[in-house]
């Protein structure tokens, strides 16, 4: 069975896969270097800071000397990542030893950022021009509302009262992997769609942005330029107004899309219009890192399999519905129960037990989050995982059945041939029956044909 997985946090892989020339050009911008630096694993960050002011190549051995035996794997991951992103340039010196050197462009940009500080390409507008700026709370509420509205429109367009004006072609791009469109049927969530819903907001945001960027080439937009603008945007100050006029035409097109996603709020005054970055935008660079998201949860799971979710959001209700039976809804509380049926439903949709458990743990209400474990063990280990294991008792393999062999020699030859291709599932040498995996089927068939 092919495993469909959304790897949401590998935006950096996308950056890493860019051509060296383009990458070096990106690194001319200090903010991009900063965003890339922040996305690195902790050990890699430390190496960069440590080597930032060293101009000569450093022997790989010298770096390894710092590492304790426990950290060897982490060290390797860190170095691999750095080389992949061309932050470290690998070389071999005269003594045939591996050396590392910080990418000179990256180094220069970051040094400049450290010593002189970075200046954004645009300054925030003075407060006498901008009027009725939203408060930070309002802005955050606006961003979340916009994002949830977007998500709801993404998964069930019919439920949305006032649809966003995202072009339908763009929406289709986002839905490509999340919804499956069968002819004449209502669109259904795919396996990856369910998984998408269970991710945290930052991961979801990156998934969408990634789709947006990977689709950019089709729309005739330069991906590198798009990435650099996104990363730059994440360093703007939340709640400050920036004039639209400072943007290029290219960026102006993008900012409209971003406004629909809730990354920025657009406002218009008497003297021009401006955009205000929200928390979602400034989180862009932060959410690149693997550090666990730090937000307040809302779910309490009791040992009797009841789920209490302190939330007013329709989206949360939809998500809970994926794997539990929602029993009743109060204005600020959703009460449900995890049942065998509801879980089987979820498993059928391709959600795994681990995903459900990690969703419950990540979104645990602060009251229970302090406890260890935050979700009762009898719910997680004994039931959710057990029920999943229940479903996996039978494994299906496509296979072909052979019988009526002319002689024992042919039968044994066929068995050996199947074994050779690692495709023999079952044999009965007395009655001369065998079952061969589909992958090995044509090899065995060839073999038998040759025997004739």
Q: Which residues bind another protein (CB under 8 A)?
A: 31, 34, 37-38, 42-43, 45-46, 49-50, 52-54, 65-68, 70-71, 74-75, 110, 113-120, 235-237, 282, 285-286, 289-292, 294, 296, 366, 369-370
Question: What's the chain's length in residues?
Answer: 452
Of residues 86 and 365, the one with the C-beta less far from another protein: 365
Short-list 209, 137, 204, CA closest to 362: 204
Q: How far is the CB of 242 from another protein (least distance, A)?
A: 12
- Least distance in angstroms from the C-beta of 46 to another protein: 6
CA 286 to chain centre: 14
Q: Cβ closer to another protein: 133 or 436?
A: 133
CA–CA dist 219, 58 (Å, integer): 43
* Shortest distance, position 258 Cβ to another protein, whole Å: 18
Q: Considering beta carbons, is residue 286 or 448 the nearer one to another protein?
A: 286
118 vs 413 by CB, closer to another protein: 118
Sheet bearing 98-102, strands edge to edge: 58-59, 98-102, 88-92
Tell me how far apart the alpha carbons of residues 47 and 349 are, in angstroms, rounded to a whole number.
Answer: 43
In three-state secondary structure terms, 322 is helix
Q: Of 38 and 314, which CB lies nearer to another protein in the complex structure?
A: 38
Closest CB 61 distance from another protein, rounded Å: 14
Q: Which is nearer to another protein, 115 or 394 (CB)?
A: 115
Other beta carbons less than 10 A from residue 310's beta carbon = 16
Q: Please identify which residue in the block is written with the tokens 């080439």.
A: 217
* Residue 59 or 399 having the CB closest to another protein: 59
**Cis peptide leading into 18, omega within 30 of 0?**
no
Smaller CB separation from another protein, 46 or 172: 46
Residues 6 or more apart in contact with residue 338 via CB below 8 angstroms = 301, 305, 306, 307, 323, 324, 325, 379, 383, 384
User: In the bound complex, what is the minimum distance in angstroms from residue 285's beta carbon to another protein?
Assistant: 7
- Residue whose C-alpha is closest to residue 272's, from 444, 116, 128, 121: 128
Closest CA to 435 of 414, 452, 420: 414
If the CB atoms of residues 120 and 326 are measured against another protein, the closer one turns out to be 120
Q: What's the closest the beta carbon of residue 111 comes to another protein, in angstroms?
A: 9
| Minimum gap (Å) between residue 281 Cβ and another protein | 12
Q: How many CB atoms lie within 10 A of CB 226?
A: 19
**Closest approach of Cβ 439 to another protein, in Å?**
41
CB 280 within 8 A of CB 204: no
| Residue 284: CB minimum distance to another protein, A | 10
Residue 214 has, within 13 A of its CA and on its CB side, a CA count of: 17
Q: For residue 268, report the phi and psi dihedrals to the nearest 5 degrees.
A: -125, 135
Tell me the C-alpha distance between 136 and 277, whole Å.
11
């Amino acid at each position: 069975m092919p495993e469909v997985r959304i790897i949401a946090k590998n935006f950096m892989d996308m950056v890493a896969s860019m051509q060296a020339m383009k990458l070096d050009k990106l690194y001319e911008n200090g903010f991009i270097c900063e965003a890339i630096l922040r996305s690195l694993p902790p050990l890699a960050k430390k190496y960069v800071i440590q080597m930032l002011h060293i101009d000569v190549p450093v022997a790989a051995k010298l770096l390894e000397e710092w590492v304790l035996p426990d950290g060897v794997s982490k060290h390797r991951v860190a170095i691999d990542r750095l080389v992949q992103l061309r932050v470290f340039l690998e070389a071999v010196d005269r003594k045939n030893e591996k050396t590392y050197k910080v990418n000179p462009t990256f180094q220069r940009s970051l040094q400049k950022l450290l010593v002189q500080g970075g200046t954004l390409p645009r300054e925030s507008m003075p407060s006498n021009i901008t009027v009725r700026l939203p408060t930070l709370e309002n802005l955050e509420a606006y961003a979340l509302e916009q994002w949830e509205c977007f998500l709801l429109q993404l998964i069930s367009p019919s439920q949305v009262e006032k649809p966003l004006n995202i072009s339908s072609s763009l929406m289709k791009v986002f839905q490509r992997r999340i919804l499956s469109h069968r002819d004449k049927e209502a669109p259904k969530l795919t396996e990856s769609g369910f998984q998408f819903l269970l991710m945290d907001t930052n991961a979801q945001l990156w998934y969408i942005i990634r789709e947006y960027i990977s689709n950019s080439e089709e729309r005739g937009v330069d991906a590198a330029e798009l990435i650099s603008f996104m990363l730059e945007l994440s360093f703007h100050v939340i709640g400050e107004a920036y004039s639209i006029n400072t943007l290029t035409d290219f960026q102006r097109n993008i900012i409209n899309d971003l406004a629909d996603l809730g990354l920025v709020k657009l406002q218009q005054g008497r003297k021009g219009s401006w955009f205000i970055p929200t928390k979602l935008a400034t989180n862009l660079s932060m959410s690149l890192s693997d550090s666990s998201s730090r937000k307040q949860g809302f779910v309490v799971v009791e040992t009797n399999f009841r789920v209490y979710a302190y939330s007013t959001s329709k989206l949360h209700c939809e998500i809970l519905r994926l794997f539990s039976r929602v029993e009743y809804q109060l204005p600020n509380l959703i009460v449900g129960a995890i049942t065998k049926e509801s879980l089987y439903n979820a498993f059928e949709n391709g959600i795994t037990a681990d995903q459900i458990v990690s969703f419950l743990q990540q979104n645990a209400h602060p009251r229970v989050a302090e406890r260890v474990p935050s979700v009762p063990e009898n719910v997680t280990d004994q039931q959710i995982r057990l029920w999943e294991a229940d479903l996996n008792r039978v494994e299906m393999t496509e296979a072909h059945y052979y019988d009526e062999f002319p002689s024992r020699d042919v039968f044994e030859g066929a068995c050996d041939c199947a074994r050779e291709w690692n495709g023999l599932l079952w044999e009965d040498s007395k009655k001369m029956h065998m079952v061969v995996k589909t992958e090995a089927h044509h090899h065995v068939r060839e073999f038998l044909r040759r025997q004739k």
